[in-house]
Amino acid sequence: MANRITPRSQDQNQWYLDVIREAQLADYGPVRGTMVIRPYGFAIWERIKESLDEKFKATGHSNAYFPMLIPMSFLEKEKEHVEGFSPELAVVTIGGGKELEEPLVVRPTSETIINHMFAKWIQSYRDLPLLINQWANVVRWELRTKPFLRTLEFLWQEGHTAHATPEEAEEETLRMLDVYATFAHEVAAVPVVQGVKTEREKFAGAVRSYTIEALLADGKALQSGTSHNLGQNFAKAFETQFLNEDNELEHPWQTSWGLSTRFVGAVIMTHGDDKGLRLPPRLAPIQLVVVPIWRNDDQRDLVLTAANEIAEELGAAAGGPGLRVHVDDRQQRPGFKFNEWEMRGVPLRLEVGPRDVASGSVVLARRDTGDKATIERADLAAEASRLLEEIQEGLLAQALAFREANTRPALDRDSFQAALDQGGFVRVHWDGSSEDEASIQAETGATVRCLPFQTDEESGVCFYTGRATQTIALFAKAY
């Protein structure tokens, strides 16, 4: 079977769309810009959810659910917020066959409706901190869309918290950013830069926005998760107040933070190759696929029995290492199956034929390197676990090396443009204004992705204004 995936080197965009189609991750919905998440793509999202949800709960958050339909007037209460979101709204004007008195917005995000409720629930410092998360769908009327990376409707989680002091709110904002970064590195093997957004790029309504920025293989940056310190902006707009320990009324300090199905796009773009998807083992819905090989019915019974035994051994049931294993027992040629599971990015393939059963061995093939080796059945559980760890580390190392190779310094406007033309991050000293950012974007298409957290002081000169500064900025073209 011919590989129906366009080589990356030929056309990154077509490669991305081909992988999504051939790996059966998603399909186009009937409404422009909407997406159907197919079972295999959704299984990746389920793994992301599971991993994050556990971390959210471990840091004291509870899940809740708020209505999707928000009165239009709510959006208008916070001035920056309505300016940021009103061009992107989907509006329900008819309900039960009648024109509604007040149009209802399909949530683009839930700060407003959540603050409406927080104003009822928060009375005293005893009610704080209030630590809520919601898994939900949101709608933003985007004009240019691309599966996973930008769709009219997407799935996400949005955390919303309220605190008694500004320090606690800032601490929470950074804690959740760190949860995202840890997840991205350790589970998804997607290296991200943590930093703060500029005033121009921050969330509409926030005091300060933090971000994790990934660098995708096409050289564009992807904002992969954000954490916002909202200060008292929404609390003031919605008159949320609490009695503090000194019996004085104060507005609580709030945060919000979100990560969405666009992260699946980051995974595809970061790890894929010309054969299709490559999934990091900790995120993969299937970590090891067993392909039994037979020529006739007798052999079929023999190898299928062995295949199922192996799956059992490697799973959790029999006290095994708890791998996620799938036995592909379809009536198809092995070559067809090899190709399909390669396209779908399963980290390890195990082949077992009649001679392997006789000799008590199997063949293990790595998706990342293509290496194949014969393994004794007795060593299989340990070897599979070891290889999965190696693949996980290998994918992260590759992605880190790619980012390093594609992060270029620039000292002045000319070298900035030259660096940008090569794709990737351009790392500069920065002392410009929001107007300067706008000019740069108009001239080059690049934006400040973030001011990365710095551990050391780095004195230098802003590439754009020529002023001395210690602030570093990462510029890039972005999704």
In angstroms, what is the minimal distance from the CB of 127 to a second copy?
A: 11
Question: Of 45 and 234, which CB lies nearer to a second copy in the complex structure?
Answer: 45
Closest to 132 measured CA to CA, from 151, 146, 115, 149: 115
Cβ proximity of 211 and 195 under 8 Å: yes
Closer CB to a second copy, 74 or 425, in the complex: 74
C-alpha radius of gyration, the chain, whole number: 25
**Minimum Å distance from CB 29 to a second copy?**
4
Residue type, 15: W
- Residue 114 or residue 215: which is nearer to a second copy going by CB? 114
Residue 113 or 472: which CB sits closer to a second copy?
Answer: 113
Measured CA to CA, the distance from residue 49 to residue 38 in angstroms comes to 16
Nearer to a second copy, 12 or 254 (CB): 254
Find the shortest distance in angstroms from Cβ 132 to a second copy. Answer: 7
- CB–CB of 339/1 below 8 Å? yes
Judge if the upstream peptide bond of residue 409 is cis by omega within 30 degrees of 0.
no
Nearer to a second copy, 52 or 396 (CB): 52
- Give the angle 472-478-479 at the CA atoms, nearest 5°: 145
Min CB(172)–a second copy separation in Å: 17
CA distance 221 to 237: 33
Cβ-based nearer residue to a second copy, 137 or 434: 137
User: What is the nearest approach in angstroms of a second copy to the Cβ of residue 399?
Assistant: 27
Tell me phi and psi for residue 331, to 5 degrees: -85, 75
Give the torsion sign (CA, 291, 293, 297, 301).
negative
CB 54 within 8 A of CB 41: no
CB count, 10 Å around CB of 28? 16
Q: How far is the CB of 187 from a second copy (least distance, A)?
A: 19
Q: Min. distance of Cβ 63 from a second copy in angstroms? A: 5
DSSP string, 266-324: HHHHHH-BTTB----TTT-S-SEEEEE--SSHHHHHHHHHHHHHHHHHHSSTTS-----
For 125, the token pair is 């410092």
CB of residue 285 to a second copy, shortest distance in Å: 10
**CA nearest 232: which of 211, 249, 212, 210?**
249
Q: Which residue has the tokens 């080059």?
A: 444
Closest distance of CB 145 from a second copy, Å: 12
**Which residue has tokens 């004794």?**
376
Q: CB nearer to a second copy: give 285 or 452.
A: 285
Nearer to a second copy by C-beta: 65 or 445? 65
CB of 86 to a second copy, least distance (A): 7
Closest CA to 159 of 71, 62, 233: 62
Nearer to a second copy, 95 or 445 (CB): 95
Residues within the interface to a second copy (CB under 8 A)? 27, 29-31, 34-39, 42-43, 45-46, 62-71, 74, 86-97, 103-104, 106, 113, 116-117, 120-121, 132, 136-137, 139, 141, 143, 152-153, 155
Q: Which residues of 234-247 are buried (b: 16+ CB within 10 A; e: fewer)?
A: bbebbebbbeeeee
Q: For 146, which DSSP code?
A: B
- Angle (nearest 5°) at CA 56 between 51 and 57: 100
Question: How far is it, in rounded angstroms, from Cα 397 to Cα 332?
Answer: 35
Q: Are 228 and 208 in contact (CB under 8 A)?
A: yes
Output 97 or 319, the one with its CB closest to a second copy: 97
Residue 444 C-beta: closest distance to a second copy, Å? 26
Least CB distance to a second copy at residue 457 (A): 43
For a second copy, the closer CB: 33 or 272: 33
